[in-house]
Structure 1
Amino acid sequence: MPYEPPTHSVERSIRATTGAKIVAGVDEVGRGAWAGPVTVCAAVTGLRRPPTGLTDSKLISPKRRTELAAVLEGWVTAYALGHSSPEEIDELGMTAALRLAAVRALEALPVRPDAVILDGKHDYLGIPWQVRTVIKGDQSCIAVSAASVIAKVRRDAMMAELAGVQGEYAGFGFAENAGYPSPVHKAALEDQGPTPYHRLSWAYLDAMPRWRHLKKTRLSAEAAALESGGQLGFDF
């Protein structure tokens, strides 16, 4: 099924209505995984024509995605990655962990963006960032598409490396599932229990009586408020 290529229309609108000169596209990967970090990429592209085939990373084959990421890393004006660890996800909850990773990515850029295009409908960044949320922004916005591809390829590579650490975690299939649920991943968890890279506040442990005692609850009241729809009212 063909997809319409992403454009700069949202970025042009932001520039015209706010006067912003530097606009970053932001996307995340790893939100639904059982293991590994949540990773956010912030990419600045300007208004140049993108490489051929750019779209949401989920719509591109792994081989083509890896090739495209290598091209994008040299094509974008700037990009940076931010991560939140499994421990931070367990303590803070996913909303606050996403914000932490996104802020790390944005602050690692060589220049501070005047505005941010955030994939999805929820603004998990909040003040002081000027944010425009775009549903399916990873398909429609060039900067967000670029961020989605780079984030996916980089995180997948990180998870594949874990599978090769002295062969210790090879049975979890991280090279194939990147820490997401899969039959191989589930079977290894039931047999060996969670690794240091697993999120211990996730519900998968509820279905594993042998390891259920390891489940953690979040310690942060602020994080609980965020997860239930409260406002972002603190800084990291």
Structure 2
Amino acid sequence: MPYEPPTHTVERSLRATTGAKIIAGVDEVGRGAWAGPVTVCAAVTGLRRPPDGLTDSKLLTVKRRNELAETLRTWVTSFALGHASPEEIDARGMTAALRLAAVRALEGLPIRPDAVILDGKHDYLGSPWRVRTVIKGDQSCVAVAAASVIAKVQRDKMMAELGADHADFAFADNAGYPSPVHQAALADRGPTPYHRLSWAYLDALPQWRHLKKVRSWAEGNVPEIEGQLGFDF
């Protein structure tokens, strides 16, 4: 299906209106998964012409996405990844976990960006970051599209590695999302150490419901960030 390639329109606008010179595109993957971390990539691209075919990672075949990710790793000016583990998601809720992963990614860049383009309509980063939210930014903004592809390929690789010890869950195929194979294995074997235990899917599994955790942080509460490691692979 044809699609419009991403542009630098938002980056140029931020440069003109705010004076920002270093602008990072930020996108996440894994928000809706039942297992594994939520992963955020921050990518700085400048205003160079992007590789052909760059777009939202979800619109690409696995083969093309992997090829583009390999190209992007050397094409971008810089990029960094941040993760929030299932334990952190359970303890803090998804909004705070997203911020945790995003800050880890942004602070992993060699130079702190002057502004951030965040995919979606909700600013989960907040102060002190200068944020511009863009709905479908992973399709329309070059830096966000680049972050989308790198984050997706990296997290898929991580989930495949995790799945090596839990073959019945097929993490290499579903990346921790609730596919039929994943759901069947979960009902039969119960959650792995990589599952998010505060999520509602456990309510439908009476044999495993006793494992459900109650969040120690209210959803949306953003606690102090204690470190940079996140999910250690």
In structure 2, the residue matched to 1:132 is: 132
Deviation at 1:162, TM superposition (A): 1.2
Whole-Å separation in 2 of the counterparts to 1:103 and 1:186:
32
Correspondence list, 1:193-208, <5 A: 193-208=190-205
In structure 2, the residue matched to 1:177 is: 174
Amino acid across the alignment from 1:203: A
Deviation at 1:235, TM superposition (A): 3.5
Q: 1:196 aligns to what SS in structure 2?
A: coil
Amino acid across the alignment from 2:200: A
Q: TM-score, normalised by structure 2?
A: 0.95
Whole-Å separation in 1 of the counterparts to 2:93 and 2:37:
12
Deviations 1:10-67 (A, max 9, x none): 0000000000010000000000000000000000000000000000000000011001
Whole-Å separation in 2 of the counterparts to 1:202 and 1:66:
30
Q: 2:25 aligns to what SS in structure 1?
A: strand
In structure 2, the residue matched to 1:189 is: 186
Q: 1:129 aligns to what SS in structure 2?
A: coil
Whole-Å separation in 2 of the counterparts to 1:50 and 1:14:
19
Whole-Å separation in 1 of the counterparts to 2:35 and 2:118:
24
Deviation at 1:163, TM superposition (A): 1.6
Q: 1:198 aligns to what SS in structure 2?
A: coil
Q: 2:3 aligns to what SS in structure 1?
A: coil
Q: 1:139 aligns to what SS in structure 2?
A: helix
1:218 and 2:207 correspond: no
Q: 2:197 aligns to what SS in structure 1?
A: coil
In structure 2, the residue matched to 1:153 is: 153
Amino acid across the alignment from 1:235: E
Q: 1:156 aligns to what SS in structure 2?
A: helix
Correspondence list, 1:78-117, <5 A: 78-117=78-117
Whole-Å separation in 2 of the counterparts to 1:27 and 1:235:
21
Deviation at 1:179, TM superposition (A): 0.2
Q: TM-score, normalised by structure 1?
A: 0.94
> Residue 235 of structure 1: which of 199, 216, 224 is its match?
224
Q: 1:133 aligns to what SS in structure 2?
A: strand
Aligned-residue Cα RMSD (Å) equals 0.9
Structure 2: runs of 5+ lacking an equivalent: 226-233
In structure 1, the residue matched to 2:60 is: 60
Deviations 1:120-167 (A, max 9, x none): 000000000000000000000000000000000000000001122xxx
Whole-Å separation in 1 of the counterparts to 2:99 and 2:3:
30
Deviations 1:182-208 (A, max 9, x none): 100001001110000000001110000
In structure 1, the residue matched to 2:5 is: 5
Whole-Å separation in 2 of the counterparts to 1:92 and 1:156:
23
Amino acid across the alignment from 1:218: R
In structure 2, the residue matched to 1:48 is: 48
Amino acid across the alignment from 1:2: P
Whole-Å separation in 2 of the counterparts to 1:26 and 1:48:
18
User: Percent same amino acid among aligned pairs?
Assistant: 79
Whole-Å separation in 2 of the counterparts to 1:202 and 1:18:
40
Whole-Å separation in 2 of the counterparts to 1:71 and 1:202:
36
Q: Which runs of 4+ in 1 moved over 3 A?
A: none
